[in-house]
Amino acid sequence: MPVIKVWCLPLGQSEESLNCLHQAIVTAAVSIVEIGLKDENGIICLFPSDLMEYGLGEEIVIEIGDLRRLRGRFYDNICKITVRDQFAEAVGQAVKSLYPEARVECHIEVPVASDVFWTSD
């Protein structure tokens, strides 16, 4: 299950604005058919707060990780650079559309064979 963390959001984000951001990210992720995500139940979105206020909202960083729970062909697809590029761009553009003045970057952590993973599912 992809975990998407969005760092350095502007201060004072309301629950409503975070929900809009969450929905935009879900829509972007689901639009990449090769990943096989169907809805928000296949994604975890986190919006960690920052301890330093300086510069918040000027640059927004998105990290996408924990892709190991994607099974079968979906996992094989996310290992393809073109699919990762599409995924990163779709999520980055979704965030950029809500924060047009910010510099937005999105990167995907790809699991390697030596990674260890456990889930209760």
Model confidence pLDDT, tens digit, residues 86-114: 999 999 999 999 999 999 999 988 766 66
Q: Long-range contacts: 113-118, Cβ < 8 Å, 24+?
A: 115/68, 117/68, 117/69
Q: Report the relative pairing of strands 3-7 and 59-65 from DSSP bridges.
A: antiparallel
pTM of the model: 0.85
Report pLDDT for 2.
86
Domains of the chain, start order: 3-108 (3.30.429.10)
What the block records as the tokens of 6 is 């969005």
Strand partners, 45: 4
Q: Is residue 80 scored above 80 in pLDDT? A: no
